[in-house]
Amino acid sequence: QESWQVAVMPGDGIGPEVMAATRHALEALPGPALVLTELGWPAHAWHRDHGEMMPADWRGQLAGYDALLLGALGDPGPSHDAQRYCLPDGVSLAPLLQLRKGLDLWACERPAVPLAGAPMPLSDPRALHTDLLVIRENSEGEYVDQGGRLAAGTPRETATQLEVFTRAGTERIIRHAFERAARRAEERRQGLRAPRYAAADGAADAAVCVVTKRNAVQYAGELWSEVFAEVAAEYPGIATHHELIDACCMKFVSQPWQFDVVVASNLHGDILTDLAAVLAGGMGVAPSANLNPADRSVPPLFEPTHGSAPDIAGADRAHPAAMLLTAAAMLEWMGEVDPVAARSAVQLQRAVAEDIAEHGMGGRGCAEVGRAVAQRIRTAGAPSA
C-alpha cells in the first residue's frame, strides 16, 4: 500500500494533547506514509456548534478512510440530550458505541503486557511475565440496548435489560480468538514473543480461555460453551480452558501469567479489560483496537482504553503512553499487509517501553514525552529484521 488514509479524532479532555504527542512520534517513524486528516468530531466542541457529537453522515465520511485514530471522549460540562448514553456525571460517550456498532467493528482487542517502569500492583514477581490478550465481543451481548423500565417511578418499577447472543456473532468472535492465539504461537516460534510462562496447561504454544457466567446465566453460557467446543476442535494445537467471569477476575489478579488469549462477551470483556489494564501499568498504558476481522475495507477504530480525564485536561499532565501504544496497534494492523508498518509498530512499541523503563510514568509533561519518544525513534533507527 502506497499510503494510508487515517482519520484523526482527538476528541475531548486529554484527547487532543495525547494525540498531539502521538503525532510527533508517528512523524519520526520511517514509514509507512500516513495521511493524517484531523476531524473536529466526535467532540463536545462540535456538539456546541452543531447540536450533535458527529455529523449526520458520519458513516459515509469515515468509510473513505483506511483507519480511525481516536483520542478520548467525554466532557462533564452540560451534556447533550442523548440521555441514555450519559453517565450520571453527564459525560457523553454515545459516539463510541455508535462508531463500534455502526461500522460493525465486532472485535475489540486489548492486550496486557506489564511495562517496566509503570506501576505494577501485584507483588508476585511472576506477574511481570503476564502477556495476555482480551478479545471482547463488541457488537451484541449485554450492549444491545433492549429492555426498559416498566411502571417507572412507582414502587413497582421494574427495569429489564436483555442480553442477545447470536450463534453467528458468538462463533465469529471465538474463531477470531483462536486465530489470534495461532498467530501468537507463531510469533513465539519465531522468537518475536516471549514463550508462555508457567502455563497451567503445560507445553501448549497458545491457549484460549472462554469466559461465561454459565452457572447462573444459563442460555448464553450454553451457547458460548457449545460454540467454543466446536471451534476449538478445529485448532487441536491450542489449549483451551473455561472460566466463570467472577473466578476469572480473581485469577487475573492471583495468576495473570497463566492466561494467553481470553475471549469474552461485551460486558465481561469490558470489566476484564479494565482489570487487565491495571496489570500492565494502569489505564495510562492500555491500548485498544476495534476491528472487523472479516473485512479489511471497514476502517478499524483505534482508541486508548482510558477516558478523557477532564480533571487534568489541558494541563500537560496526561501521559501519552496509551495513545502511543494505540497508534502502534494501528501500525500492527497495517503491518498485516505492509511490512514497513509492521516494523514501525515494533519500533514505536520499543521506544515507548524504553522511555518508560528509563523515566517512569510521572514527572514529565505530555508534550515532552511525545518529543522524547520521537527522539528515541530517530536515534535508534530501524530494528533489525
* Buried/exposed 215-233: b ≥16 CB within 10 Å, e otherwise: eebeebbebbeebbeebbe
For ligand IPM, what does the binding mask look like between residues 250 and 279, x meaning CB under 6 A?
--------------------x---------
Question: Which of Mn ion, ligand IPM, none lies near 138, with the C-beta cut-off 5 to 8 A by kind?
Answer: none
- Nearest approach in angstroms of CB 79 to ligand IPM is 14
Distances (CA, A) of 195 to 129, 211, 367: 10, 23, 35
* Helix pair 321-335, 366-380: axis angle to 10 deg: 40
Q: Interface with ligand IPM includes 70 (CB under 6 A)? A: no
- Nearest approach in angstroms of CB 274 to Mn ion is 6
Q: Which of residues 267-296 bind Mn ion (CB under 5 A)?
A: 270
For ligand IPM, what does the binding mask look like between residues 80 and 119, x meaning CB under 6 A?
-------------x--xx----------------------
CB nearer Mn ion, residue 117 or residue 141: 141
Backbone angles phi, psi at 362, to 5 degrees: -110, 175
CB nearer ligand IPM, residue 18 or residue 93: 93
- Nearest approach in angstroms of CB 270 to ligand IPM is 4
Listing DSSP states for 171-189 in one string gives: HHHHHHHHHHHHHHHHHHH
The span from the CA of 138 to the CA of 143, in Å, is 8
Question: Which of ligand IPM, Mn ion, none lies near 93, with the C-beta cut-off 5 to 8 A by kind?
Answer: ligand IPM
Question: Which of ligand IPM, Mn ion, none lies near 96, with the C-beta cut-off 5 to 8 A by kind?
Answer: ligand IPM
The span from the CA of 333 to the CA of 302, in Å, is 10
> How many other β-carbons are positioned within 10 Å of the β-carbon of residue 340?
17
CB nearer ligand IPM, residue 140 or residue 270: 270
In one-letter notation, the amino acid at residue 268 is H
Q: Which residue is listed with cell 480511525?
A: 68
The span from the CA of 306 to the CA of 285, in Å, is 9
Give the residues lining the site for ligand IPM (CB under 6 A). Answer: 93, 96-97, 270, 305
Residues at the contact surface with Mn ion, assessed by CB under 5 A: 270
